[in-house]
Amino acid sequence: MKDEPAFLPRAQGRAELEVKWQDGRTRLAHALEEGAAKLRFPRADDPAGFEAVWINSAGGLTDGDRLTLRVKAGEKARLLLTSQAAEKVYRARHGMAAARLDVRLDAALGSHVEWLPQETILFESGMLERSFEVDLAPGATLLAAESVVLGRTARGEVVERGQFADSWMIRREGQPIWADRLRLTGAIGALGRRPALLDGARAFASILYVGADAESRQEAVREWCEALPIRAGCSARGELLALRCLAADGDQLRMAMSLLLSRFRSALAGATVPLPRLWSC
Amino acid sequence: MPRIIMVATTMTTEAAAAWLYRLMAWLSPAYPVGAFSYSHGLEWAVEQRLVGDRSSLEDWLDDVLRHGGGRIDAILCAHAYAAAALGDRPTLVGLRDLGEALAPTRELALETLSQGEAFRTTTLAAWPDLERLAELLPDRLPAYPIAVGAAAAVAAIPMLPALEAYLHAFVANLTSAGVRLIPLGQTDGQRIVANLEPVCVEMAEAARLAPLDDLGTATLMVDWCSMRHETQYTRLFRS
């Protein structure tokens, strides 16, 4: 007991962000930061959309940490949310609760929201429970991506144990349209080597687009996927277009995601748009 | 006293015979839900040589049961059963929506929704005494485990045998798909079904008590296979 500090600093934080469409562009309507949760606005005056960067100033997550982000995009607003750095999830102490990260988005009539954080890196015995909940009003569209890397793969690190639970719930006018629950717990190293789970991939990602034109975009996205050096696939139904990517390591995944997301964003904008600056390798 | 006990025993046996008969009929490969036409992404997995013999097929199905669609289906089935037993239509409507939203790909959605709808219409047509099922099950396509769970509750089939029978049908159907695709001998196929018996029993037991928050999968490769199957050049299966 003597070796353990009586008080361990914990990341607790809450941020709120609200943007609205006014006088021909998206503007900040409300922002709140508490604790370790910070927001930055590098391109607040970009007519193409409002860019916000989410920061965990505690520099990583461990057991008992809890961060929440609540975002509202007003009618016709265009918002891009990303994160400043990869989120690192460190070893949790035995018997402690997992770190929690909860993100909640409300997209009003005709708005467009992009949630494109950088990857989450799960270290040996890291435990994270994450929820991503989105409510879309009629005509609102969403592009969301999450990448997970098991250990610092560039250093040959292999994560054998851990807990990763990621829950996505996307609703349109209150009706669930996409519920994705990923649970990888316990001996995640051994599980990840099994062919039906990750088949040895140590980095994986999901991308979801929700919009009336989802099905018409599938063919182009499928071509991008099939040209990649990693395993990537996509499937569309109704207003959903979902992608899964599995890569040998974090670098391969990051390259693939940069390519997919920059093409996707350009296709949506009808013009070449760069990836958020922070995403550049 | 002894006479009453005897009558009670006879009645119990007759009731048991009725539920067993229905459970076997509904989850038999002959029940016209079209199960034989779905491979749950296995067709692409075989094409990619991720699955190519008896042991790799057994491993694949073991994982689909524990970490994939089997687990999701069992939990949805248990919740639909409980809601139907209570006559709770709003909860069943919510489960119906969740069941569809949980399908990760177009073909896996087709697989569960088409079988669910075929199960619902066939069962309502052939067993008119289950009219409560028509009141309880939402009109729009229910996911297959939701239709089965609700019907089992209405027919007073005990929950655990219903879950085991559902998972057995799931495994037996995918094993049969694997036997055709790899190909394997029929006896090897049945060895797989036999070896996965304890897994089905364990997953049924676990699903009986699992809250909806326990829903979750880790079978990203199955999702990827199902996605790539959409454009597989030669295909025997619809998923």
Interface A–B counts its CB contacts (< 8 A) at 97
Whether residue A280 has pLDDT greater than 90: no
Cα gap A274→A256, rounded to integer Å: 15
Confidence of residue A272 (pLDDT cuts 50, 70, 90): confident
- pLDDT of B5 reads 45
C-alpha separations of B208 from A117, A262, B90, B98 in Å: 37, 45, 20, 18
Residue B39 inside a domain? The answer is no
C-alpha separations of B106 from A79, A244, B143 in Å: 28, 13, 13
A246 touches chain B (CB under 8 A): yes
Share of chain B above pLDDT 70, in %: 93
By CB neighbour count within 10 A (0-12 exposed, 13-18 middle, 19+ buried), where does A72 fall? buried
Confidence of residue B140 (pLDDT cuts 50, 70, 90): confident
For residue A126, which of A88, A152, A83 has the smallest C-alpha distance? A88
How many domains does chain B contain in total? 1
Identify the residue among B39, B102, B108, B221 best suited for mutation to test binding to A, counting A beta carbons within 10 A and taking the highest: B221
- pLDDT of A10 reads 73
Containing domain of residue A258, as a range? 28-280
Whether residue A281 has pLDDT greater than 80: no
A9: β partners: none
Residue B172 inside a domain? The answer is yes
Of the candidates A201, A236, A246, the beta carbon closest to that of B106 is on A236
| Inter-chain touch A165–B216, beta carbons under 8 Å | yes
Residue A8 inside a domain? The answer is no
Cα gap A93→A207, rounded to integer Å: 31
Confidence of residue B14 (pLDDT cuts 50, 70, 90): low
Residue A23 inside a domain? The answer is no
Of the candidates B68, B97, B105, the beta carbon closest to that of A196 is on B68
- pLDDT of B6 reads 47
Residue B55 inside a domain? The answer is yes
Share of chain B above pLDDT 90, in %: 90
| Inter-chain touch B101–A177, beta carbons under 8 Å | yes
Which chain A residues touch B47 with a CB distance below 8 Å? none
- For residues A183, A188, A192, A195, the Cα torsion angle rounded to the nearest 10 degrees is -80
Containing domain of residue B141, as a range? 50-215
Residue B148 inside a domain? The answer is yes
Residue B195 inside a domain? The answer is yes
The mean pLDDT of A174-178, rounded to a whole number, is 97
Confidence of residue A3 (pLDDT cuts 50, 70, 90): very low
- Between A95 and B17, the more confident residue is A95
Whether residue B16 has pLDDT greater than 80: no
Distance from CA of A210 to the nearest CA of B (A): 13
Taking only the tens place, the pLDDT of each residue in B178-205 is: 999 999 999 999 999 999 999 999 999 9
- pLDDT of A1 reads 40
User: Which region among A18-27, A40-49, A133-142, A210-219 has the lowest average model confidence (pLDDT)?
Assistant: A40-49
The mean pLDDT of A124-148, rounded to a whole number, is 97
User: Which region among A28-37, A103-112, A154-163, A180-189 has the lowest average model confidence (pLDDT)?
Assistant: A154-163
- pLDDT of A48 reads 83
Confidence of residue A9 (pLDDT cuts 50, 70, 90): low
The mean pLDDT of A77-89, rounded to a whole number, is 94
Question: Mean of the per-residue pLDDT values for chain B?
Answer: 93
Q: Which residue has the tokens 């809450």?
A: A14
Token output for A163: 């807990």
DSSP state of B212: G
For residue A175, which of B239, B71, B24, B140 has the smallest C-alpha distance? B140
Residue B222 inside a domain? The answer is no
Q: What does chain A come to in residues?
A: 281
The mean pLDDT of A229-243, rounded to a whole number, is 98
Cα gap A84→A277, rounded to integer Å: 10
Residue A5 inside a domain? The answer is no
- pLDDT of B7 reads 45
The residues, ordered by sequence, that sit 6+ positions from B101 with a Cβ below 8 Å of its Cβ are A169, A170, A176, A177, A178, A179
Taking only the tens place, the pLDDT of each residue in A17-75 is: 999 999 999 999 999 999 999 999 988 778 889 999 999 998 889 888 999 999 999 99
DSSP state of B197: H
CATH number at residue B198: 1.10.4190.10
Residue A1 inside a domain? The answer is no
Of the candidates B50, B101, B223, the beta carbon closest to that of A195 is on B50
- Between A94 and A132, the more confident residue is A132
Question: Mean of the per-residue pLDDT values for chain A?
Answer: 92
Whether residue B163 has pLDDT greater than 90: yes
Of the candidates A176, A195, A222, the beta carbon closest to that of B98 is on A176
Cα gap B160→A127, rounded to integer Å: 33
How many domains does chain A contain in total? 1
Radius of gyration for the alpha carbons in chain A, expressed in angstroms and rounded: 19
Residue A20 inside a domain? The answer is no
Taking only the tens place, the pLDDT of each residue in B79-138 is: 999 999 999 999 999 999 999 999 999 999 999 999 999 999 999 999 999 999 999 987
| Inter-chain touch B218–A184, beta carbons under 8 Å | yes
What beta strand segments (E) does A59-194 contain?
Answer: 66-73, 78-83, 87-89, 99-107, 112-116, 120-122, 127-136, 141-150, 162-172, 175-186
- pLDDT of B65 reads 98
Residue A239 inside a domain? The answer is yes
Confidence of residue A153 (pLDDT cuts 50, 70, 90): confident
- Between A215 and A153, the more confident residue is A215
Whether residue B159 has pLDDT greater than 60: yes
CA dihedral for A252, A256, A258, A261, sign (positive or negative)? negative
The mean pLDDT of B30-39, rounded to a whole number, is 98
Residue B207 inside a domain? The answer is yes
- pLDDT of B40 reads 98
Whether residue B11 has pLDDT greater than 60: no
Cα gap B85→B73, rounded to integer Å: 18
- pLDDT of B109 reads 98
Residue B84 inside a domain? The answer is yes
